[in-house]
């Protein structure tokens, strides 16, 4: 057995990024400052978004974007059960009630046609999740939103670099929230970004991310001197630090290369595993898109594989290969069952996937030999002999 542990994800940090962090530390300015400003400008260019607001995480971004909508008690927000808990948590923290829609069994993304049936007089927003970096079918989704006057806050945590019909996620539509967690397609350690075409929303988020302090409001009230400011809301402490932006400044120019390598690896998995009955490979939709391949997530078919997903994950771990679990269905967590009465059986496609899905190792610096080791190990586990 190979005694080197292969993780399922690993960030690629260049020497230039490390030098930038050191320069930031030596500059005397380490929290929000000039590097955050530069990174924000760079992201606006990359995303082709008029407004970008940088934050301490995507969770903070989802929270503030939803909070800025001014939801009232009982207001409903539509999302998917097949997502990280942060998506639902943010809806609840912003005062909304999560209303869930089952996913398409092939793409694992929200079934937009099914979303229409869940709209009520209390629906205020839709939060689609671009699962694994595969874009949700946004044309019909935005059509539905416009028809009913709903806001759309895209959970784009997996989707920096994703394209839908030739357009980059972040460059069109309402509002998108990106994550720079170490496992995501690019990282600032922890960090997130809200991109939006709504100037007022961007302003609200900028104020809420730092104690509710509004320097423009203070200017409006006509005092003088930079020490003074106005507090217009009880805000949060969700700002990004310059130390984090120092990494981001060098991750962003590397992103296209990261996605190219991720795509190569994902396509090899798709090709090599094509005939395996033990696995169901992730499917792709008919509409034109670029997958950012944040994750490679097949399903384990327990009957053919002779083991369930948990058995598979521990067997891989015993052979020094890490795997990830993205995700078990969020509606089945204790809080969501108890508070909103969600039950097993309500979202059959998402639950089928949530019980079988596993994330195989996939990261830009993964070598062909490391990927071969994953494939060979799985073949042995399933009794397929060497491939
Ligand atoms: C990672 C992730 C988040 C949260 O991102 P953070 O930056 O870690 O807060 C939200 N939604 C989804 C789908 C994610 O994968």
Ligand 1 geometric centre to CA of 59 (Å): 6
Ligand 1 geometric centre to CA of 84 (Å): 7
Average pLDDT of the chain, as a whole number? 96
Distance separating alpha carbons of residues 130 and 87, to the nearest angstrom: 12
Whole domain around residue 276: which residue ranges?
A: 255-381
pLDDT of residue 220: 55
Residue 387 resides in a domain: no
Question: pLDDT exceeding 70 applies to what percent of the chain?
Answer: 96
Are 217 and 355 within one domain? no
pLDDT of residue 3: 82
- The reply to whether ligand 1 has any atom less than 6 angstroms from the CB of 244 is no
**Which residues are catalytic, by number?**
184
Are 229 and 264 within one domain? no
pLDDT of residue 215: 76
Are 78 and 205 within one domain? yes
Are 295 and 182 within one domain? no
Structure tokens at 11: 């960030």
Please identify, among 237, 253, 269, the residue that sits at the C-terminal boundary of a domain. 253
pLDDT of residue 226: 63
Residue 105 resides in a domain: yes
CATH of the domain at 203: 3.40.640.10
Residue-wise pLDDT for 227-279, tens only, equals 678 999 999 999 999 999 999 999 999 999 999 999 999 999 999 999 999 99
Residue 9 resides in a domain: no
Residue 10 resides in a domain: no
Are 100 and 50 within one domain? yes
Are 260 and 366 within one domain? yes
- The reply to whether ligand 1 has any atom less than 6 angstroms from the CB of 327 is no
Atom of ligand 1 nearest to the CA of 192: 7
Please identify, among 203, 238, 253, the residue that sits at the C-terminal boundary of a domain. 253
Distance separating alpha carbons of residues 112 and 122, to the nearest angstrom: 18
How many Cα atoms occupy the beta-carbon half-sphere of 55 within 13 Å? Answer: 32
Distance separating alpha carbons of residues 77 and 340, to the nearest angstrom: 13
Q: How confident is the model at residue 146 (pLDDT cuts 50, 70, 90)?
A: very high
Judge contact between 350 and 82, C-beta under 8 A: yes
Residue 234 resides in a domain: yes
Are 102 and 249 within one domain? yes
Would you call 212 exposed, middle or buried from its count of C-beta atoms within 10 A (0-12, 13-18, 19+)? middle
- The reply to whether ligand 1 has any atom less than 6 angstroms from the CB of 102 is no
Ligand 1 geometric centre to CA of 186 (Å): 12
Per the DSSP assignment, residues forming a β-bridge with 213 are 231
Query: Total structural domains in the chain?
Result: 2
pLDDT of residue 216: 67
pLDDT of residue 386: 53
Residue 4 resides in a domain: no
* 236 contact partners, CB below 8 Å, separation of at least 6: 60, 63, 64, 208, 209, 210, 211
Residue-wise pLDDT for 317-361, tens only, equals 999 999 999 999 999 999 999 999 999 999 999 999 999 999 999
Please identify, among 229, 253, 277, the residue that sits at the C-terminal boundary of a domain. 253
Are 99 and 231 within one domain? yes
For 31, which DSSP code? S
Judge contact between 66 and 212, C-beta under 8 A: no
- Helical H runs in the chain? 15-27, 34-47, 58-67, 85-93, 112-116, 138-148, 199-208, 215-220, 242-251, 255-272, 302-305, 309-318, 334-340, 348-356, 368-381
Q: How confident is the model at residue 224 (pLDDT cuts 50, 70, 90)?
A: low
Residue 329 resides in a domain: yes
- From 79, 84, 128, 191, give the residue whose CB has the most ligand 1 atoms within 8 Å, as the site to mutate: 84
21, pLDDT greater than 90: yes
pLDDT of residue 131: 98
pLDDT of residue 225: 57
Residue-wise pLDDT for 62-79, tens only, equals 999 999 999 999 999 999
369, pLDDT greater than 80: yes
Least confident of 77-91, 203-217, 273-287: 203-217
CATH of the domain at 294: 3.90.1150.10
59, pLDDT greater than 60: yes
299, pLDDT greater than 90: yes
Distance separating alpha carbons of residues 264 and 253, to the nearest angstrom: 19
pLDDT of residue 214: 87
223, pLDDT greater than 60: no
Structure tokens at 221: 């009230």
pLDDT of residue 102: 98
Would you call 16 exposed, middle or buried from its count of C-beta atoms within 10 A (0-12, 13-18, 19+)? exposed
Are 172 and 281 within one domain? no
Residue 5 resides in a domain: no
pTM of this prediction exceeds 0.75: yes
Are 287 and 142 within one domain? no
Are 232 and 95 within one domain? yes
Are 277 and 128 within one domain? no
């Amino acid at each position: 057995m190979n005694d080197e542990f292969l993780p399922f994800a690993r960030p690629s940090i260049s020497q230039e990024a490390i030098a930038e962090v050191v320069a930031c530390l030596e500059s005397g300015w380490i929290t929000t400052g000039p590097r955050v400003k530069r990174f924000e400008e760079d992201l606006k260019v990359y995303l082709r978004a008029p407004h970008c607001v940088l934050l301490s995480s995507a969770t903070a971004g989802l929270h503030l974007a939803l909070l800025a909508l001014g939801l009232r008690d009982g207001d409903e927000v539509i999302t998917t059960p097949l997502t990280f808990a942060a998506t639902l948590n943010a809806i609840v923290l912003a005062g909304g009630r999560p209303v869930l829609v089952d996913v398409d069994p092939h793409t694992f993304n929200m079934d937009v046609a099914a979303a229409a049936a869940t709209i009520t007089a209390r629906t205020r927003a839709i939060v689609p999740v671009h699962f694994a970096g595969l874009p949700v079918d946004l044309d019909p989704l935005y059509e539905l939103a416009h028809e009913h006057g709903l806001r759309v806050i895209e959970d784009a945590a997996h989707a920096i670099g994703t394209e839908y019909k030739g357009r980059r996620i972040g460059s069109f539509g309402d509002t998108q929230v990106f994550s720079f967690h170490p496992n995501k397609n690019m990282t600032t350690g922890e960090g997130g970004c809200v991109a939006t075409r709504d100037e007022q929303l961007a302003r609200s988020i900028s104020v809420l991310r730092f104690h509710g302090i509004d320097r423009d409001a203070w200017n409006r009230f006509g005092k003088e001197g930079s020490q003074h400011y106005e507090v217009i809301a009880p805000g949060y402490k969700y700002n990004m630090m310059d130390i984090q932006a120092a990494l981001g400044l060098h991750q962003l120019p590397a992103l296209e290369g990261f996605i190219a390598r991720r795509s190569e690896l994902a396509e090899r998995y798709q090709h090599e595993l094509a005939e395996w009955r033990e696995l169901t490979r992730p499917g792709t939709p008919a509409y034109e898109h670029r997958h950012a391949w944040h994750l490679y997530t097949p399903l384990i078919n327990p009957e053919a594989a002779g083991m369930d997903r948990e058995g598979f994950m521990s067997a891989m771990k015993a052979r020094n290969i890490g795997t990830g679990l993205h995700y078990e269905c969020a509606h089945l967590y204790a809080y969501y069952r108890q508070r909103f009465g969600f039950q097993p059986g309500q979202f059959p496609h998402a639950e089928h996937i949530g019980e079988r899905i596993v994330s195989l190792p996939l990261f830009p610096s993964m070598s062909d030999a490391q990927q071969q080791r994953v494939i060979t190990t799985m073949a042995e586990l399933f009794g397929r002999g060497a491939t």
